[in-house]
Structure 1
């Protein structure tokens, strides 16, 4: 959650969302008593919220009485991803990039000042990055995907996004101020390949570029702090292919 609390906040909706969040982040199903304690709610309110969420399909009640996330959450997740109007052939280009380079390929977009990974094609030469998976919001200041998209924006807009999102430190190399990011981007032209080395994850490097004529960024990740020349070349080819489509 970001920004100031709205004056017309509907408390029951906020409480229901808090229940969903607690159940979703738990590593096992939760009882209503545990949900109430974790959410800071009384037991009666928690029962009403849980029953409502179960009826709507957002929670599922197990035979033992504990609760886990329901199928409607997955439905909303897929609808959210489908709402992004990907470039034609985006999935095919992403899969081809991963197959030919051996590196995981990503497609991302900035929306409402947030960097969202929309699609991923896994490659064996890249590590599993749990924060760079489809549907997840991630850090624009520490990722090549985010920096490539920021590079395409006017400085004033870019600074606003960085200030709103904040500059969380992921590794000792992560930029710690808006000025640090501006310095990094100052020698690059919009559309150029942007790299980051160990800023998002230690011993991991990423490269990305914006697809010309779009607001999409295509990127790859690799083990180690160097981007292999062949992988960079495959990325550039994929960006051109996606632009032509």
Structure 2
């Protein structure tokens, strides 16, 4: 939640969304008492909210009485991912990049100051990264995809996105201030391939670049702390291929 609440805020809707967000981010089943405490709601209100969310399919009640996200969350997730109008050749370009380089390829975009991975083509020379899967939001300050997209923005917009999102530390080398990110990007030109080495995951390196004339970025990941030169070259070719396909 950002900014001041609207004057016509419907508090019951706001509370229900708060409950849904808390259960979704918990990573484990939660009891109603825990939900109430974390959401700062009284127990009676929490019971009403979780029963309503269960009825609508947004929460699932386990036999022991604890709650998990329900199937309607997954349905909305897939609908959101499909709503983005990807370049028509994007999937083919990602598959070709993964096949020729052997590295997992990603397509991402900034939407409402959030970095979203929209498509993935898996490659055997890359680790499986649970936070870089199709439809997931990830960290713009710690990923090559995010840095490439940030590089294409005016500095004041870039700073606003970083400040709003926050700079969570993922590894000992993650940049944790706006100034750190700005210093990394200062020697690069928009459109260049951007790399990060162990900032998002230990012993993983990534490279990314924006597709000229679009708001999309393509990236790859690699085991270890270097991106192989051949993989980097294939990434640059994929960016050019997708730019040509969108005219």
Equivalence for 2:225: 225
Task: Find the aligned partners of 1:157 and 1:29 in 2 and give their Cα distance.
Answer: 38
Give the CA deviation at 1:54: 2.2
Cα RMSD, aligned residues only: 2.2
Equivalence for 1:157: 157
Give the CA deviation at 1:69: 2.2
Matched residue pairs, number? 245
Equivalence for 2:202: 202
Equivalence for 1:182: 182
Task: Find the aligned partners of 1:107 and 1:128 in 2 and give their Cα distance.
Answer: 16
Q: How high is the TM-score relative to the length of structure 1?
A: 0.89
Cα pair 1:16 1:49 within 8 Å, conserved:
yes
How do residues 84-123 of structure 1 correspond to structure 2 at under 5 angstroms? Answer: 84-123=84-123
Task: Find the aligned partners of 1:227 and 1:86 in 2 and give their Cα distance.
Answer: 26
Give the CA deviation at 1:4: 4.2
Q: Return 5+ residue gaps in structure 1 as ranges.
A: none
Distance 1:225 1:28, change over 3 A: closer
Equivalence for 2:140: 140
Give the CA deviation at 1:181: 2.2
Q: Deviations over 1:132-177 (max 9, x none)?
A: 2222222222211111111111222222222222322222322233
Equivalence for 2:167: 167
Task: Find the aligned partners of 2:147 and 2:64 in 1 and give their Cα distance.
Answer: 48
Task: Find the aligned partners of 2:43 and 2:197 in 1 and give their Cα distance.
Answer: 49
Q: How high is the TM-score relative to the length of structure 2?
A: 0.88
Task: Find the aligned partners of 1:70 and 1:213 in 2 and give their Cα distance.
Answer: 39
Q: Return 5+ residue gaps in structure 2 as ranges.
A: none
